[in-house]
Amino acid sequence: MDTMLKVENLQTYIGQYHILQGISFQVKKGEVTVLLGRNGAGKTTTLRSIMGLNPPSQGKIYYQNVSIEGLPTYKIANLGIGYVPEDQGIFKDLTVEENMKVAMKKQDAETIDRLEWILQLFPDLKKFWKKPGGLLSGGQKQMLSIARAYLNNNQLLLIDEPSKGLAPIMVEKVMDSILEMKKETTIILVEQNFMMASTIGNQFYIIDDGRTVYSGRMSTLKEDEQLKRKYLGIA
Amino acid sequence: MELMLNLIINGLATGMLVFLLAAGLTLIFGLMDVLNFAHGGFFAWGAFSAVWLYSLSGSFFVAIIGAIATGIMLGIFTEKIIIKPVYGNHIQQILITLGFMLVLTEFIKVVWGPNQMAAKTPEFLTGSWELGNVILIKYRVFIIIIALIVYSMVQIALKKTKIGLIVRAGVMDKEMVQALGINIKKVFMFVFIVGSAMAALGGALIAPYSGVVYAEMGMEYAILAFIVVVIGGMGSFSGSLFAAILVGLSGSFMAYFIPDLSLAVNMLLMAIVLIFRPQGLFISRG
Amino acid sequence: MKRLGCISQISLIIIAVCLMVIPFVYESRSTLILLTQIFIFAIFAMSYDILLGYTGIVSFGHAMFFGIGAYTTGILLQRQEPTMGIFILSIIVGIIISVIVSYIVGLMTLRLKSHFYAMLTLAFASLFQVASEKWRSLTSGNDGFTFRIPEILIDRSTFYLICLILMVILYFMLQRFTQSPMGSVLIAIRENEQRAESLGYKVLHYKIIASIIAGATACLAGSLYAASLRFVNTSVFTMDTTLDALLMTIIGGVGTLLGPVIGAGLIEFAHHWLSGLAEKYPLFERWIIFFGIIYILAVMFFPKGIVGSIQGWKAGKKLKKAVKVKHEKKIAG
């Protein structure tokens, strides 16, 4: 199956605010699809709508051809979708180990192997294994959040602004880990850091005022100064 | 010295009883974001059931188990019928749980009549021990021990079991737990039942301690429990133990020296905490 | 003609006039006393509606102010001369005390989340209750004390009319308040506190004002209550009193001012009627459970209460009519 996720005319309200006013996009398997746009455009809400945290009032979401809009969040997660929120969602008072344990569905050999592999990818996590998540640095928290989402062999990962607030060297590490995961998983990435987005992204969608207004291959966007300025505020 | 010890044991005993009530409240609030104003009703029902069962069966053990069972059943009913429908709306929750508290309290009067009932202490727990020239009242020590056992059991469950892990994680970030594929609503019922069972146990234990049970005792102790929850911090299980001990001790000492002010001193404590550290003494959130 | 809830202004005035005529045509003392109680509780419930219905604040300590009014009046009338002057003085003193109390308590607690506020008002009210029980020298504790009231008020018809007039005046005053700019801010706070804050309104400031007004009104009701009974004891500070306000406001209809009046009528009538029945059939002694259950159902399914639901239904009908007219116009033109 080539299309991992298909979103059609998503409309989402938060309270009385009409945040998403028509989001449509498709995500190809094995690719990194980037959602770009200004602050407040609705990128985070889009991810949350897919996850069911802010259920859409209208529109369809198809995950591997199965419609998932309206399902409770835990069911959506169990279909194989992992979520790395903007604030990382680390359980502060739980240790790194416990953070991973919450995510662990089964304790079988396959999961243990996977855990080993992830810890190799993020060696800092092993170092801080028994320490509370709250003590980790920003970059390490990001690693933990990504690791946690990746643990269960999720086929689709939703990652929200992983580079936010990170030092350039950490941003590089995050990029490397995403490229590594891309080999086995499909990724939807929300990112304001254009360098990162353009380096690892394949397809892009621009969201403005709650609507998808433009899309294309990342290679073309890199050259298009006008587009970048209009929707991303990048000169 | 002897006086000191008595006041301390007294204070600890009262504190432990309030802990049983407050612990459930704080976990339910921490995890479900629900402040259950009917919690005192479980306490009162536990007390009445225990006294009634004891008078029927003559066995203290049966009375305690019966009270816990009552608490569990009431908990299930309350979570499903009263709390679930108004999930997410704080104002409705507050209003509805208080209304249910009224109904619970009045129902006690329907079942057992409007007057207070006398509660006896079982034979094997009456009297006291003498250690040198110190006298320890057996029943009070019993209360302290039982409550500490309950505390340890729940603490172990929280730290070592998967469900305990989910509860601890859920108190910090409900949404993330769901996003990790866990149906946290199932855990809600579990936590609610543990809370209501503990409250009912508290009621059952206090009956012989105070000698009488009356329908209004639920609300009276609930108010103390609220004070404890504020001081200890919403959602902190251990915090509720330490705060309860603090409240119990201060109430006990004040009751000896200036009895009229014992409630006032606890309210003063609460006011101080609210002004200087509103998240409670034991929550690290800042 | 202003449309006011489900009954227009004119109809309300007609009803008020009818009520005024009652003591002259209907001689039954117990009816007059019952209706007077209804008016007094209507004032109390309306004051609660300002908090809950208009500002969105759930207070479990409203009995505090009721009790302050009741005891201030009782104490002053007992210790001084039972004259009209002293009575009015007691009302003023009571209101001053309740303004101070609601300011201090409000300052400490209104900045916190709704849960905290509810808990804390509960705790404060119980503090007042305990204090009234223990401070026997002032309050005679649980037993309470009786006192004489001014000559003029002894006549039940006169007292009835005074309470009725006060209720009507307060109704219109509170109504004007809710329709004033300040009232609109309170409603905005109820709807979406964060938004109001971001629009530049100091939410705490407004909440405290609402709390003070509600407290003062409740205090007045308490003074009238004490005068009607010529007796006051610690029961005025109990949870039951606050619950009364809650039940009346919710069942009658929050946020309508008229609702609490109707709620007060319903509950006091039921109290009177069911208590009578209770003498024959002891089951009815627990009549309040019935209201408790209605209240729970109301909070769950009819959060707008009786008046609110009728308002909503009428508004729905109007909307449907307007849509129909628009639709017909579209077809025609």
Distance from CA of B196 to the nearest CA of A (A): 26
Domain count, chain A: 1
CATH code, domain carrying A128? 3.40.50.300
Picking from A94, A102, A190, A178, the residue whose alpha carbon sits closest to that of residue A136 is: A94
DSSP string, C166-180: HHHHHHHHHHHHHHS
Chains A, B: CB pairs < 8 Å? 59
Q: CA–CA separation, B14 vs C124, rounded Å?
A: 21
- Compute chain A's Rg from CA coordinates: 17
User: With contact defined as beta carbons under 8 Å apart, do A2 and A16 qualify?
Assistant: no
Q: CA–CA separation, C309 vs C252, rounded Å?
A: 10
Picking from A69, A65, A30, the residue whose alpha carbon sits closest to that of residue A182 is: A30
Distance from CA of B10 to the nearest CA of C (A): 21
Q: CA–CA separation, B277 vs A50, rounded Å?
A: 38
Over residues B223-264, the pLDDT tens digits come to 899 999 989 888 889 999 999 999 999 988 888 888 777 778
Which chain B positions have a beta carbon within 8 Å of A153's beta carbon?
Answer: none
Mean pLDDT in residue range C177-197 = 85
Q: In this structure, what is the dihedral angle of CA atoms A22, A27, A33, A37, given to the nearest 10 degrees?
A: 0
User: With contact defined as beta carbons under 8 Å apart, do A59 and A36 qualify?
Assistant: no
Are A72 and B183 inside 8 Å of each other by CB?
A: yes
pLDDT reported for residue C195: 80
Which chain B positions have a beta carbon within 8 Å of A157's beta carbon?
Answer: none
Q: Which two tokens stand for residue C54?
A: 């208009």
Query: Does pLDDT of B8 surpass 80?
Result: yes
pLDDT reported for residue C3: 45
Q: Which of A164-168, A216-220, C107-111, C328-332 has the lowest mean pLDDT?
A: C328-332
Per-residue pLDDT band at A1 (split at 50, 70, 90)? low
User: With contact defined as beta carbons under 8 Å apart, do B279 and B285 qualify?
Assistant: yes
Domain that holds residue B47: 2-215
Percent of chain B whose pLDDT exceeds 70:
98
Q: CA–CA separation, C49 vs B195, rounded Å?
A: 33
Name the average pLDDT for chain C: 84
Q: Which two tokens stand for residue B228?
A: 């404890």
* Other CB atoms within 10 A of residue B284 CB: 12
Residue B153 lies in a domain: yes
User: With contact defined as beta carbons under 8 Å apart, do B4 and B252 qualify?
Assistant: no
Q: In this structure, what is the dihedral angle of CA atoms C130, C136, C142, C148, given to the nearest 10 degrees?
A: -130
Q: CA–CA separation, C236 vs C228, rounded Å?
A: 13
User: With contact defined as beta carbons under 8 Å apart, do C188 and C195 qualify?
Assistant: yes
Q: CA–CA separation, A51 vs C194, rounded Å?
A: 26
Where are the alpha helices (H) located in chain B, listed in sequence order?
2-32, 39-57, 60-77, 90-112, 138-160, 162-172, 174-179, 184-210, 217-232, 237-257, 262-276
Q: Which two tokens stand for residue C137?
A: 């020298």
Per-residue pLDDT band at C299 (split at 50, 70, 90)? confident
Which positions in chain C have a beta carbon within 8 angstroms of at least one beta carbon in chain B? 56, 58, 60, 108-109, 112-116, 118-120, 122-124, 126-127, 130-131, 134, 239, 243, 246, 250, 285-286, 288-289, 292-293, 295-296, 299-300, 303
Q: Is B234 on the interface with A (CB under 8 A)?
A: no
User: With contact defined as beta carbons under 8 Å apart, do B25 and B36 qualify?
Assistant: yes
Place of tokens 């407290």: C215
pLDDT reported for residue C2: 40
Q: CA–CA separation, A6 vs A26, rounded Å?
A: 4
Are C243 and B109 inside 8 Å of each other by CB?
A: no
Backbone angles phi, psi at B134, to 5 degrees: -105, 135
Q: Amino acid letter at B193?
A: I
Mean pLDDT in residue range C329-333 = 62
Higher pLDDT, C277 or C181: C181
Q: Amino acid letter at C38?
A: I
* Beta strand pairing call for B212-213 and B117-118: antiparallel
pLDDT reported for residue C280: 73
User: With contact defined as beta carbons under 8 Å apart, do B231 and B279 qualify?
Assistant: no
| Cα separation values, A59 from A35, A56, A208, B281, Å | 18, 7, 18, 47
Are B183 and A51 inside 8 Å of each other by CB?
A: no
Per-residue pLDDT band at C1 (split at 50, 70, 90)? very low
Nearest CA in chain C to B273: C108
Are B178 and A105 inside 8 Å of each other by CB?
A: no
pLDDT reported for residue C4: 47
* Other CB atoms within 10 A of residue C216 CB: 21
Q: CA–CA separation, C151 vs C201, rounded Å?
A: 48
User: With contact defined as beta carbons under 8 Å apart, do A181 and A152 qualify?
Assistant: no
Q: Which two tokens stand for residue A102?
A: 């919450």
Chains that touch B (3 or more CB pairs under 8 A): A, C
Between CA A166 and CA A175, with CA A170 as vertex, the angle to 5 degrees is: 105
Query: Does pLDDT of B88 surpass 70?
Result: yes
Q: CA–CA separation, C57 vs C255, rounded Å?
A: 12
Please give the helix or strand (H or E) that residue C217 lies within, else none: helix C203-229
pLDDT reported for residue C332: 63
User: With contact defined as beta carbons under 8 Å apart, do C76 and C93 qualify?
Assistant: yes
Q: CA–CA separation, C295 vs C5, rounded Å?
A: 21
Q: CA–CA separation, A133 vs A55, rounded Å?
A: 29
Place of tokens 């008072």: A93
Residue B15 lies in a domain: yes
Residue B232 lies in a domain: no
Q: Which two tokens stand for residue B68?
A: 């816990």
DSSP string, A86-111: TTTT--TTSBHHHHHHHH----SHHH
User: With contact defined as beta carbons under 8 Å apart, do C71 and C223 qualify?
Assistant: no
Q: Of the spans A96-100, A122-126, A231-235, B6-10, which averages the highest pLDDT?
A: A96-100
Nearest CA in chain C to B36: C115
Distance from CA of C285 to the nearest CA of B (A): 9
Over residues C245-261, the pLDDT tens digits come to 999 998 888 888 888 99
Query: Does pLDDT of C244 surpass 50?
Result: yes
pLDDT reported for residue C221: 96
Percent of chain C whose pLDDT exceeds 90:
31
- Compute chain C's Rg from CA coordinates: 21
Name the average pLDDT for chain B: 89
Q: CA–CA separation, C206 vs C189, rounded Å?
A: 9
Q: Is C147 helix (H, G, I), strand (E, B) or coil?
A: coil
Query: Does pLDDT of C6 surpass 60?
Result: no
Mean pLDDT in residue range C208-217 = 94
Domain that holds residue A16: 3-232
Q: Of the spans B70-74, C81-85, C132-136, which averages the highest pLDDT?
A: B70-74
Query: Does pLDDT of C28 surpass 80?
Result: no
User: With contact defined as beta carbons under 8 Å apart, do B145 and B135 qualify?
Assistant: no
Over residues A19-71, the pLDDT tens digits come to 999 999 999 999 999 999 888 888 999 999 999 999 999 999 999 989 998 89
pLDDT reported for residue A106: 78
Picking from C102, C65, C127, the residue whose alpha carbon sits closest to that of residue B266 is: C127
Q: Is B84 helix (H, G, I), strand (E, B) or coil?
A: helix
Residue B253 lies in a domain: no
Name the average pLDDT for chain A: 89
* Beta strand pairing call for A156-160 and A58-63: unpaired
Over residues B191-217, the pLDDT tens digits come to 999 999 999 999 999 998 888 899 889
Mean pLDDT in residue range C3-10 = 58
Which positions in chain A have a beta carbon within 8 angstroms of at least one beta carbon in chain B? 51, 53, 72-74, 77-78, 83, 85, 89, 91-94, 98, 101-103, 105, 134, 148, 152
Residue B220 lies in a domain: no
pLDDT reported for residue B286: 35
Mean pLDDT in residue range A142-158 = 91
User: With contact defined as beta carbons under 8 Å apart, do A96 and A128 qualify?
Assistant: yes
Residues 6 or more apart in contact with residue C52 via CB below 8 angstroms: C58, C59, C246, C249, C250, C254, C255
Please give the helix or strand (H or E) that residue B120 lies within, else none: none
Are B102 and C292 inside 8 Å of each other by CB?
A: yes
Q: Which of A74-88, B13-27, C24-38 has the lowest mean pLDDT?
A: C24-38
Where are the alpha helices (H) located in chain A, listed in sequence order?
43-51, 73-78, 96-103, 109-121, 123-127, 138-150, 168-182, 194-200, 218-223, 225-232
Q: CA–CA separation, B13 vs B145, rounded Å?
A: 9
ipTM of this predicted structure: 0.90
Per-residue pLDDT band at B63 (split at 50, 70, 90)? very high
Q: Amino acid letter at C27?
A: E
Are C300 and B219 inside 8 Å of each other by CB?
A: no
Over residues B113-133, the pLDDT tens digits come to 888 888 888 888 788 887 777
Residue B285 lies in a domain: no
Over residues A66-119, the pLDDT tens digits come to 999 889 999 999 999 999 999 989 999 999 999 999 998 877 888 888 888 888
Q: CA–CA separation, B156 vs C133, rounded Å?
A: 43
Picking from A155, A7, A1, the residue whose alpha carbon sits closest to that of residue A68 is: A7
Instruction: Give the DSSP letter of residue B17.
Output: H
Residues 6 or more apart in contact with residue B156 via CB below 8 angstroms: none
Query: Does pLDDT of C283 surpass 70?
Result: no
Domain count, chain B: 1
* Other CB atoms within 10 A of residue A40 CB: 11
Give the nearest partner residue to A78 out of B169, B175, B181, using CB atoms. B181
